Amino acid sequence: MPRYWYTAGAGDPERKIVDADDLPEALLKLRSSGIAVTSAGLEESPGGRIRILPRRAQATVYPQLAALLDDGTPLPTALRQLALETRDRQIQRSLHALADAADRGATLSDAMSAQPSAYDLSTVHSVAASEEAGDLPEGLRRLNDHQEEMARLAEQVAFPLIYPVVITFIVFDLLLFLVTFIVPKFLALYRELGMTEDKFPIPTIMLMRLCAIAPWAIFIVGVPAVCLIIAYRLYTRTSRGQFDVKRWGLLIPLLGQLSLYTSLGRVASVLGLLLRQGVDTGKALRIAGEASGSATIGLALRRAASVVNEGGSLADGLRASGILPEAFVFSLGAAEIGGQVPATLTHLVEVYQRRARWLTRVWITATGPIIVVCLGAMVSFIGIGLFAPLIGIIGELSQ
């Protein structure tokens, strides 16, 4: 039988459960029992239903939850109050699931770990460390700062990288439309006016040849491109393929450096958060590697974690991989000697964010003019090829 949740009374946000065949029957059953229902809905199992929650959305929850906990509100009640305030249905389901788990005696970190698609490992371990330290509200505030920092890093890099690709795709579609539909109509018009191919100027003849081979060129280029995309997707499904693609990506001029700086910024942010919360260094390195978004950086940090777990220093572990930049390793090695690793990681986040922003500006500065020049050259070629025969026609008419 389906289960329906309900809340009764504006001052009591606790969610209760009733069994019924449908929602109207559930409401009728509750009213017959003298319960004034304020809200109700189908009880949904969180497994497989809660998608990834955006960092910005998560970040709005943590400081409010910390404030409620500071005021002495029990964790399940605080979670349900936040669920009633938010408009996002995914967050509502997630918070209700967390509150139900807390009612059963689970900690917040245990409840979060039951929703792996919503909360990543760095979030779960950060909350667990805060619970062990007995200061969950402060840990939630730090987590909020971290989530906002990660969201800013993603936003400042994502759009500038996508923008040239989108513009190139639009320009390609426009040129394809011109060559496939517009140019043949003009050429047909010229032939109707009595022009033969030997009278066409060279730019027009070249344009005619291009129109003739365009469908074949699309087929010749398109089919191998589709095959390469399929092969790429199949290869990247393997762990070896993911590692190779990420490693090759780091070798691409400009974009490789941008990917490296973005990954190191994530690593420094996650690692700093976990170390401040008291998470073991080896475990923190592994989690930061998974959060880096790069299989290459992740492998380097797993090797570093192995060295640290065997008693080695942080600098020795990071240097053992031979992948991480020496400046990154040296900074953390010096910070480890001085006992300033978390503060140095905060500084490194700012450093790599600045470098990522600078490379993003370089990318836009370099690609923008190239796209404009290529577009201008192609449009000029098509325009000259289309309208050059008009000069001969006008000359004949004037005679």
Three-state secondary structure call for residue 294: coil
pLDDT at 320 (0 to 100): 80
Q: What is the mean pLDDT of residues 31-59?
A: 64
Q: What is the mean pLDDT of residues 11-32?
A: 70
Q: What is the DSSP string of 22-55?
A: SHHHHHHHHHHTT--EEEEEE---STTT--PPPH
Output b/e per residue, 332-355; b: 16+ Cβ within 10 A: bbebbeeeebbebbbebbebbbeb
Query: CB–CB of 245/235 below 8 Å?
Result: yes
Flag whether pLDDT at 236 surpasses 70: no
Helix (H), strand (E) at residue 128: helix 121-133
pLDDT at 214 (0 to 100): 67
The CA-based angle 267-271-277, given to 5 degrees, is 155
Flag whether pLDDT at 309 surpasses 70: yes
Closest CA to 195 of 204, 203, 207: 204
pLDDT at 91 (0 to 100): 82
Q: What is the mean pLDDT of residues 210-230?
A: 74
- The average confidence (pLDDT) of the chain is 77
pLDDT at 116 (0 to 100): 76
pLDDT at 45 (0 to 100): 47
At 46, the pLDDT band (50, 70, 90 cuts) reads very low
Flag whether pLDDT at 232 surpasses 80: no
pLDDT at 270 (0 to 100): 82
Would you list the domain boundaries of the chain? 3-42, 145-399
At 47, the pLDDT band (50, 70, 90 cuts) reads very low
Flag whether pLDDT at 119 surpasses 50: yes
pLDDT at 117 (0 to 100): 75
| Ramachandran assignment for 194, one of left (phi > 0), alpha (psi -120 to 50 degrees), beta (any other) | left
pLDDT at 217 (0 to 100): 65
Q: What is the mean pLDDT of residues 117-129?
A: 78
Q: Which tokens hold the place of 375?
A: 């577009």
Query: CB–CB of 191/183 below 8 Å?
Result: no
Q: What is the mean pLDDT of residues 326-352?
A: 85
pLDDT at 1 (0 to 100): 47
What's this model's pTM, rounded to 2 decimal places? 0.59
At 41, the pLDDT band (50, 70, 90 cuts) reads low
137-158 tens-digit pLDDT = 888 888 787 777 777 766 666 6
241-295 tens-digit pLDDT = 666 666 666 666 667 777 788 788 888 888 888 888 788 888 888 888 877 777 7
Among 38-47, 341-350, 388-397, which stretch is predicted with the lowest mean pLDDT?
A: 38-47
Q: What homologous superfamily is domain 145-399 in, according to CATH?
A: Type II secretion system (T2SS), domain F (1.20.81.30)
282-307 tens-digit pLDDT = 888 888 887 777 777 888 888 888 88
Among 10-14, 44-48, 205-209, 272-276, which stretch is predicted with the lowest mean pLDDT?
A: 44-48
323-336 tens-digit pLDDT = 788 888 888 888 88
